[in-house]
Structure 1
Amino acid sequence: MSVDTPRRIALLRHAKADWPQVSDHERPLAERGRKDAPAAGLRLAETGINFDLALCSTAARTRETWKLAVQALPHRPKTVYEERLYEASLGELIALLNETPDEVNDLLVIGHNPGMHALADALAGRAEGDALTRMNQGGFPTSALAVVGFAGSWKSVEHGVGTLLEYWAPHK
């Protein structure tokens, strides 16, 4: 692959979770989350991106979000459940992206906040239209999606390398 290979990273925050008497890692989706996750899947499908790989946190709420969202995609990408996504810092998230094989052009990450918002904000040196303003004003609510494009190898992913192509959050 050329150093100029165009790539896209979609960052999806898990849908709204419930707060039952279980560990944080095992929290399931709330009713609203079970409604919003398929909507996020539809939005992912509308991007027209055929993801080569999906990295999903091992937390119950992210796995359930992905299970509901992926049904809307015309092409199911290879999925890797990555425990390092749970409670990952910005630096840890960038390190994970740097490990992505160069055969992957389009990557989907299903994770948690504050990491998903921090990563989208950090990677976006530029933005299309008002996407960055909307993302930073609205925060990164559950089921929010950001798509960042960049050119180069995954090892070159760092602060400011990309363009925020899209930001979407479900209407509550």
Structure 2
Amino acid sequence: MSVAEPRRIVLFRHAKADWPQVSDHERPLAERGRKDAPIAGRKLADSGIALDLALCSTAARTRETWKLAVSELPERPRTVYEERIYEASPGELIAVLNETQDDVRSAVLIGHNPGVQGLAEVLTGEAEPEAAQRMSRAGFPTAAFAVLSFPGPWKSLEPGAAKLLDYWSPNN
């Protein structure tokens, strides 16, 4: 693949989590989250993006979200569970994405707020108007995802370098 071809990043917030008496890292999905995650997976499948790589937080709710969502995709991408995504800032998430191999054309990052929403906002230099309006109106609720595109190698990904192409949330 040429590094001149645009790359796609899907920024996917985990589905709704429950609040049982466990550590934050081990919180499972709530019933609503178990319903929303496969719906988000179907919407992601409908987007037609062939994902090469999934970078998923090690938290229980993100792993469960991805397990339910990926089952709706036509092809399962290679999945890497990355502990640095848990509680990461947008800058820390960019650093993780910068390490992606250049043969990866499209990746999904499954993480948490405020990092995922912050990353979508920081990376977006330009946007499709409807996608920007939906994201602005909805914020970044659980099970939402944004699709961004940027040119060049992963190591060149930086604030303002991407275009927001699409946004979906269960609330839309």
**By the TM > 0.5 criterion, same fold?**
yes
Q: Can you list the C-alpha shifts for 1:104-160, whole angstroms capped at 9, x where unaligned? A: 000011000001111111111111122112212211000001000011000110011
- Which amino acid in 2 is paired with 1:81? Y
User: Are 1:5 and 1:153, in contact at CA under 8 Å, matched by a contact in 2?
Assistant: no
> Who is 1:123 aligned against?
123
| Correspondence 1:50-69 to 2 at 5 A | 50-69=50-69
Distance in 2 of aligned mates of 1:137 and 1:108 = 23
Q: Can you list the C-alpha shifts for 1:23-71, whole angstroms capped at 9, x where unaligned? A: 0000000000000000000011011011000000000000000010001
Unpaired segments of 5 or more residues in structure 2?
none
User: Are 1:18 and 1:29, in contact at CA under 8 Å, matched by a contact in 2?
Assistant: yes
> Who is 1:18 aligned against?
18
Distance in 2 of aligned mates of 1:143 and 1:23 = 21
User: Are 2:125 and 2:163, in contact at CA under 8 Å, matched by a contact in 1?
Assistant: yes
**2:158 counterpart of 1:158:** yes
- Which amino acid in 2 is paired with 1:4? A
Deviation of 1:171 after TM superposition, in Å, equals 2.9
| Correspondence 1:60-139 to 2 at 5 A | 60-139=60-139
User: Are 1:56 and 1:63, in contact at CA under 8 Å, matched by a contact in 2?
Assistant: yes
Unpaired segments of 5 or more residues in structure 1?
none
- Which amino acid in 2 is paired with 1:85? I
Distance in 2 of aligned mates of 1:44 and 1:134 = 16
> Who is 1:27 aligned against?
27
User: What is the TM-score with the length of structure 1 in the denominator?
Assistant: 0.97
Shifted more, 3-12 versus 29-38: the winner is 3-12
- Which amino acid in 1 is paired with 2:115? G
Computed over aligned residues only, the root mean square deviation of the Cα atoms, in angstroms, reads 1.1
User: Are 1:52 and 1:104, in contact at CA under 8 Å, matched by a contact in 2?
Assistant: yes
Count of residue pairs the alignment pairs up = 172
User: What is the TM-score with the length of structure 2 in the denominator?
Assistant: 0.97
Distance in 2 of aligned mates of 1:13 and 1:38 = 13
Q: Can you list the C-alpha shifts for 1:72-115, whole angstroms capped at 9, x where unaligned? A: 10000000000000000111001011100001000011000001
> Who is 2:2 aligned against?
2
